[in-house]
Homo-oligomer: A and B are copies of this chain.
């Protein structure tokens, strides 16, 4: 039994046109007009497939294919929002493979014991509203609905108002629910599968993640008549932090990755010494213990850089997710499905956070990875060859069927 390669190729192209960038990437920020159009398109396809569609208080969309028995569903999810100038595979591919799974069950006239339900999560990326995975976080009871509603984008717009604006502030309670399994297909976003010429990653879990934010307060002054000896330049201190963050990864080695992805300067004009800089620090490692060692090093890097420049600062380690192991039974089902699909596969750990992380906190969860060309993602060049998409989609389909059970 196989999914329909041509059909899923078509849906990738079609949904990929909503928010497409001139260079073939995707900008579909959460709760933007493009996100609304992407959601609308998905809901139309879900209704065509005979799914029963509902929307919850966080704008998460559910499309249920009934099972033969009154049992908790197998959830197949991902997201349709993207980062700015992102690609057409991150998130989108997961919901399209889930849709393809449901359509394939119909093609083969299969009745499952458990319902099988497609889920589209709101604002997975965290590019517009922080934190990332905010909607699965609320669903899992890890974030308060009120806090999520009050998250604001750069223009000060609240998430709840943005949800209402695009018509996706739904009535269903966004609370923990029972499920047989949560399965998510996603691009690897790293180079390993491609390097080893594999099509499928059987994901065992997600690395530990730590997010910090740093505000540096220097002395804003004129870039001309202010002698070097009296300067307190927030950007000079920030630059030392950026190189120091890179150094932490080099010093601790292994699989630790460290990134300064966001940096803002004030007043940010050519002829003013920067008075204020804010920046983010993202650190990830398969082992929680490595982050426990990295965080004090970060504290020391920031302190040394700011003392040297004579500037004050606030450093906040505001988000920490421990390593998430996926459910052994779900991982075994994904592994059986990968074998049955005929794909070349390996077990792998995810370096990126996913909604599956929160779902794992309230039920059995697992993921299917497909390769990212050049390991690249969150960029317009994101690409997964169709052969790998087909293997991944078949793996998702077979694993879902395995977990939902034939009636």
Known contacts A219-B376, A243-B239, A274-B261: A353-B268 contact under CB 8 Å: no
The stretch of A2-10, A57-65, A176-184, A230-238 that contacts the partner chain: A230-238
A221 cross-chain contacts in B, Cβ below 8 A: 189, 375-379
7 of the cross-chain contacts (CB-CB < 8 Å) are A90-B222, A223-B259, A224-B350, A224-B351, A236-B242, A262-B269, A271-B352
Tell me whether B375 and A271 are in contact (CB under 8 A).
no
The stretch of A35-43, A95-103, A249-257, A334-342 that contacts the partner chain: A249-257
Tell me whether B378 and A85 are in contact (CB under 8 A).
no
Complex A-B, nearest 9 residue pairs according to Cβ-Cβ distance, in ascending order:
A225-B351, A190-B225, A239-B242, A224-B352, A223-B259, A224-B351, A239-B239, A220-B379, A189-B225
A226 cross-chain contacts in B, Cβ below 8 A: 189-191, 257, 351, 375-377
- Chain B, residue nearest A223 (CB): B259
A256-284 vs B, CB cutoff 8 Å, 1 = contact: the mask equals 11111111111111111111000010101
Tell me whether B267 and A222 are in contact (CB under 8 A).
no
Tell me whether A249 and B228 are in contact (CB under 8 A).
yes
| Any B CB within 8 A of the CB of A126 | yes
Q: With a 10 A CB-CB cut-off, give which of A211, A275, A353, A379 has the most chain B CB atoms.
A: A379
Tell me whether A263 and B268 are in contact (CB under 8 A).
yes
Task: Choose among B243, B268, B352, B353 the residue that contacts A243 (Cβ–Cβ < 8 A).
Answer: B243
Known contacts A190-B225, A243-B240, A263-B235: A211-B257 contact under CB 8 Å: no
A375 cross-chain contacts in B, Cβ below 8 A: 221, 225-227, 230
Known contacts A239-B243, A271-B352; 12 additional CB pairs below 8 A are: A132-B270, A189-B222, A223-B261, A225-B351, A225-B377, A226-B257, A235-B261, A239-B239, A259-B273, A261-B265, A261-B272, A267-B378
A377 cross-chain contacts in B, Cβ below 8 A: 221-222, 225-226
| Any B CB within 8 A of the CB of A246 | yes
How far apart sit A191 and B191, CA to CA, in the bound complex (Å)? 54
Give the number of residues in A that approach B within 8 Å (Cβ atoms): 73
A242 cross-chain contacts in B, Cβ below 8 A: 235-236, 238-239
Chain B nearest CB from A358 CB (Å) reads: 16
A243 cross-chain contacts in B, Cβ below 8 A: 236, 239-240, 243
Known contacts A224-B284, A226-B375: A126-B270 contact under CB 8 Å: yes
How far apart sit A145 and B235, CA to CA, in the bound complex (Å)? 35
| Any B CB within 8 A of the CB of A170 | no
Task: Choose among B207, B271, B282, B351 the residue that contacts A261 (Cβ–Cβ < 8 A).
Answer: B271
- In the complex, which residues 71-87 of chain A have their Cβ closer than 8 Å to any Cβ of chain B? 83-86
Chain B nearest CB from A164 CB (Å) reads: 24
Tell me whether B84 and A269 are in contact (CB under 8 A).
yes
